[in-house]
């Protein structure tokens, strides 16, 4: 083990459900590469995403705070400058910071999530752009080409950014005639293979970093809708799609119906449609796992992992028809909230072959990474995932993206209200119990559901009326969280009048708002 600061690799498997990985108990062998990695890592059995979709979840991982503090809850949100990002902190601590991103909501939309990266390569959109790319080409022709490509990429980036901020443009992008364009020409899911190759090249060839330790953020979109996995994985996990015309027709319709990815279902999926979606999702999981396996093998062969912290996680999961829901618009059921979290460490901070059973939040990756890089404050070090022992309640929020909600309310207002998809949701985990609540007139306590996440991971039995005392304890946590949200969530950096009250201050610390 070297004395130099470790390389840090944060690999986010966008839209990856924990329960679809073999190492998390899935009966199908979808993830042999991640399974092997898990045997030499610490695996967290109950990791919880801070939010149900990309922007707020990434913002929590990048800032260490819950969504009500960073306020990145809409597609048009911009990260407050008062909140330093993980990349900024590591850059200031001497790291070379580089990103290889396949999600346009992180790599294209101008929302502040790119702050702090020397180099940020985006693989989604009409062309790979480099908004923060360091370095200047050597000769005049290459300089001109680089300038022209940068300007062109920037223009397309602004065009794509506008879609995240306009209801009219968003509605237009969901038009069936537009879907083939942005799925193919705009490369919505990016390029998994190329982004991993480029990331490995940076980590294995140290010429650009001049001896600096490297922080590498990678986002992969392979398991995100639409589903177009390689044929060999379709043959293994969804053979019916190759044999059955009805299954192929349904898949084509599903892949082109972007509105359907967002809206609740009027009726449960029939068995054959559910089987089709499950199989195609599993095929995408396996295809991505193979690519991740090649990436990890290359790092091992070149000795990179001998002095590195490798974190594999997800920003959220995905509904595939469960509870009459698709996608990840607005819910905090386990299909969305529970995510994989595997940490391989070159030191003993995260022991190899270890399984941790306590509930943890992905927002704590911020504290864990800064601690590993020796860039954390004493207060931040107390929230690193390397520490075991006493646990604290973990929270997650689901605030429906307003432009998506506007679209849903235009088309199916009664269904949206019936399924409560127009209401923000809040959940708290404490040991084996989880309380989920939806807001009603500013109150999160009227509509609650209580589940045992250990004995009932699919959340089929609501224990609210069976265990009233446990429900009341968790309701108190939610009430405290909601009250503190009102105190500190109005504006980042603003302090309430009673902030200096010792009891208020301690309560904020207990809830994880203050380090």
Going through 419-493 in order, the beta strands assigned E by DSSP cover 425-430, 433-440, 443-452
Q: How far is CA 346 from the centre of its chain?
A: 24
> What per-residue confidence (pLDDT) applies to 312?
98
Q: Per the domain annotation, does 404 fall within a domain?
A: no
Q: Nearest Cα to 236, choosing from 270, 273, 287, 295?
A: 287
Q: Is the pLDDT of residue 480 over 60?
A: yes
Number of separate domains in the chain = 1
Q: Taking the chain, what is the end-to-end CA distance rounded to the nearest angstrom?
A: 30
| Tally of CA atoms within 13 A in the half-sphere of 61 that contains its CB | 28
pLDDT in tens, 295-325: 999 999 999 999 999 999 999 999 999 999 9
CB 453 within 8 A of CB 433: yes
> What per-residue confidence (pLDDT) applies to 76?
86
Q: Per the domain annotation, does 413 fall within a domain?
A: no
> What per-residue confidence (pLDDT) applies to 251?
95
The tokens of 259 are what? 């509105």
Q: Per the domain annotation, does 16 fall within a domain?
A: yes
pLDDT band at residue 138 under the 50/70/90 scheme: very low
pLDDT in tens, 271-285: 999 999 999 999 999
Q: Nearest Cα to 344, choosing from 59, 19, 35?
A: 35
Alpha helical stretches, state H, 257-377: 258-262, 271-301, 334-337, 365-372
Alpha helical stretches, state H, 307-444: 334-337, 365-372, 378-381, 402-411, 413-418
In a 3-state reduction of DSSP, which class is residue 123?
A: coil
Q: Per the domain annotation, does 171 fall within a domain?
A: yes
Q: CA-to-CA distance for 134 and 124, rounded, in angstroms?
A: 19
Q: CA-to-CA distance for 410 and 235, rounded, in angstroms?
A: 39
Mean pLDDT, the chain, integer: 85
Bridge partners for 15 per DSSP: none
Q: CA-to-CA distance for 431 and 287, rounded, in angstroms?
A: 34
Q: Per the domain annotation, does 491 fall within a domain?
A: no
Q: Per the domain annotation, does 405 fall within a domain?
A: no
Of the segments 194-198, 484-488, 490-494, which one has the largest average pLDDT value? Answer: 194-198
Domain residues for 197?
A: 7-390
CATH at 380: 3.40.720.10
Q: Per the domain annotation, does 482 fall within a domain?
A: no
> What per-residue confidence (pLDDT) applies to 70?
94
Q: What is the CA radius of gyration of the chain?
A: 22
Q: Is the pLDDT of residue 149 over 50?
A: no
Q: CA-to-CA distance for 8 and 329, rounded, in angstroms?
A: 31
What's the predicted TM-score (pTM) here? Answer: 0.86
> If you average pLDDT over residues 432-458, what whole number do you get?
87
Q: Per the domain annotation, does 94 fall within a domain?
A: yes
> What per-residue confidence (pLDDT) applies to 513?
38
From the number of C-beta atoms within 10 Å of its C-beta (0-12, 13-18, 19+), residue 206 rates as middle
Q: CA-to-CA distance for 221 and 168, rounded, in angstroms?
A: 25
User: Of 139-153, 457-471, 473-487, which gets the smallest average pLDDT?
Assistant: 139-153
Q: Which long-range contacts (CB under 8 A, 24 or more apart) does 480-488 make?
A: 480/507, 480/511, 481/393, 481/395, 481/426, 481/428, 481/511, 482/426, 482/444, 484/508, 484/511, 484/513, 485/68, 488/68, 488/69, 488/513
């Amino acid at each position: 083990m070297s004395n130099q600061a470790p390389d840090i690799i944060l690999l986010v498997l966008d839209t990856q459900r924990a329960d679809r990985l073999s190492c998390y108990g899935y009966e199908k062998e979808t993830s042999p590469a991640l399974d092997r990695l898990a045997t030499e890592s610490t695996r967290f059995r109950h990791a919880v995403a801070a939010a149900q979709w990309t922007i707020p979840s990434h913002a929590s991982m990048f800032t260490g705070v819950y969504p009500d503090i960073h306020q990145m809850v809409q597609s048009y949100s911009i990260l407050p400058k008062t909140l330093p990002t993980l990349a900024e902190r590591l850059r200031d601590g001497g790291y070379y910071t580089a990103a290889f991103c396949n999600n346009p909501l992180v790599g294209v939309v101008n929302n502040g999530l790119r702050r702090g990266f020397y180099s940020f390569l985006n693989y989604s959109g009409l062309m790979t752009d480099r908004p923060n790319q360091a370095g200047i080409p050597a000769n005049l022709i290459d300089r001109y080409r680089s300038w022209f490509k940068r300007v062109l990429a920037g223009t397309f980036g602004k065009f794509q950014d506008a879609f995240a901020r306009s209801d009219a443009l968003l509605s237009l992008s969901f038009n069936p005639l537009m879907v083939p364009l942005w799925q193919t020409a705009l490369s919505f899911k990016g390029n998994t293979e190329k982004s991993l190759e480029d990331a490995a090249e940076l980590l294995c060839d140290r010429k650009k970093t001049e001896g600096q330790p490297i922080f590498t953020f990678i986002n992969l979109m392979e398991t995100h809708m639409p589903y177009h996995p390689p044929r060999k994985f379709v043959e293994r996990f969804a053979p019916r799609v190759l044999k059955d015309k009805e299954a192929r027709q349904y898949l084509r319709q599903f892949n082109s119906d972007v509105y359907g990815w967002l809206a609740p279902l009027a009726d449960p999926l029939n068995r054959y449609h559910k089987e089709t979606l499950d199989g195609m999702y599993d095929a995408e999981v396996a295809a991505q796992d193979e690519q991740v396996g090649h990436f990890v093998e290359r790092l091992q062969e070149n000795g990179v992992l001998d002095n590195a912290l490798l974190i594999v996680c997800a920003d959220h999961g995905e509904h595939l028809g469960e509870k009459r829901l698709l996608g990840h618009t607005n819910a905090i059921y386990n299909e969305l909230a529970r995510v994989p979290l595997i940490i391989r460490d070159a030191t003993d901070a995260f022991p190899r072959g270890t399984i941790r059973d306590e509930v943890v939040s992905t927002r704590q990756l911020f504290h864990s990474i800064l601690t590993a890089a020796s860039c954390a404050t004493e207060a931040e070090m107390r929230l690193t995932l390397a520490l075991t022992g006493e646990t604290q309640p973990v929270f997650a929020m689901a605030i429906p993206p307003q432009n998506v909600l506007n679209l849903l309310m235009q088309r199916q207002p009664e269904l949206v209200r019936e399924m409560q998809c127009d209401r923000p949701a809040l959940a708290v985990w404490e040991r084996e119990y989880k309380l989920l609540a939806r807001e009603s007139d500013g109150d999160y306590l009227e509509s609650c559901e209580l589940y045992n996440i250990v004995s009932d991971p699919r959340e089929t039995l609501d224990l609210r009326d069976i265990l009233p005392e446990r429900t009341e304890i968790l309701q108190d946590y939610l009430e405290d969280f909601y009250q503190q949200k009102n105190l500190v969530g109005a504006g980042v950096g603003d302090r309430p009048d009673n902030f200096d009250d010792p009891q208020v201050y301690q309560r904020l610390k207990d809830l994880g708002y203050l380090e």
